[in-house]
Amino acid sequence: MKKSVIVFAAALAAVLSLVSCGNSKYANDTHLAIEDGKTVVERYGQLQVIGTDLCDQNGNPVQLRGMSSHGLHWYGKYANKDVITWLRDDWNCQIWRAALYTGGQGGYVSNPALKERVTDSVEACIENGMYVLVDWHVLDEHDPLLYKNYAVEFFDEMSKKYGDKPNVIYEICNEPNGEKVTWSDNIKPYAETIIEVIRKNDPDNIIIVGTPVWSSQVMAPSSDPLKDGKNVMYTCHFYAGSHKAESRKNVVNALKAGTPIFVTEWGTTQASGDGGVYEKDTLEWIEFMKAHNISWANWSVNNKGEDSGILAFNADREAKGNWKDKDLSKDGKFIRRILRNELDMKTWKQEQKK
């Protein structure tokens, strides 16, 4: 009898270990860009997906947190070593997202020189021991299949150049959108093509795939899975003023269905990028993502004066970093405190009473 109980317990433990990395507590993650003199990449190394968790090289669950650029064709000047280093050292950023718009006026398809902004970002992150999201920013063109040939060429080059660097994460399809753009007919066939291209050069680094309706329909992949889902995650985007409890419920359902989620873009505002900073709603999302071990990148580093930009209007026009309080917008001051582990819901509520 005892023997059968032991065997059953061992089998149960084995199953549970597959559900999340190492079956560890998420609370063990310190969320530090540098800890005991080691960068986040030195500590975490080659990332992997186990169950629905992003894990380090040893199978421990980790949550990456950091900032996204705005469109590199508009505010690419901030995608430089000085700014990225400042974000690591002062803001405690572990990850940087290089948002390469593909279509539209000034995007990569019409301006391939923008690739240099991506490589500048990757090189700076490698030097700083940070992770970097290489974001193929599908938006205006709606359907990722429209510029698939450009994406094949781009990700083939990126994966050949950086496939041996654990820093790199490939975000292959930012926000597919439009009534006629579906998971099965558009996003999935595109993703399977690009994943195959990347895996020929890079068998291990994480790949993130967008989901329908501006990366909000996170349940879609579970009903029609990709052929190769190893080390693949799926995108959820939200803006705290527009997406609330129902959106979080969708994420929970996706996780229960076995879909690993990475929030590669989110904002404190309405989906327009303006409408003010929704502090309480943002902190509800922050607590939710921490509880479910969901990594994130906040939108965005720019000085255009929109509410979702971290810089004050026209601040740091030379893009040198080293920002003072006066250089930051309300959003910037708020996000900086979150990233520096200085602000959570409990602290915020206490501050509201003063």
Residues known to be catalytic: 175, 265
Instruction: Please give the structure tokens belonging to residue 148.
Output: 């698939």
Residue 52's contacts (CB-CB under 8 Å, 6 or more residues apart) are 19, 20, 255, 258, 259, 260, 261, 293
Residue 245 to residue 297: CA distance in whole angstroms: 20
**Cβ 281 vs Cβ 244: under 8 Å:** yes
Residue 80 to residue 70: CA distance in whole angstroms: 13
- The alpha carbon torsion through 192, 126, 73, 202 (nearest 10 deg) reads -20
Residue 246 to residue 38: CA distance in whole angstroms: 39
Residue 67 to residue 91: CA distance in whole angstroms: 9
Residue 43's contacts (CB-CB under 8 Å, 6 or more residues apart) are 35, 56
Which long-range contacts link 148-151 to residues 24+ away (Cβ below 8 Å)? 148/190, 148/193, 148/194, 150/102, 150/108, 150/109, 151/102, 151/190, 151/194
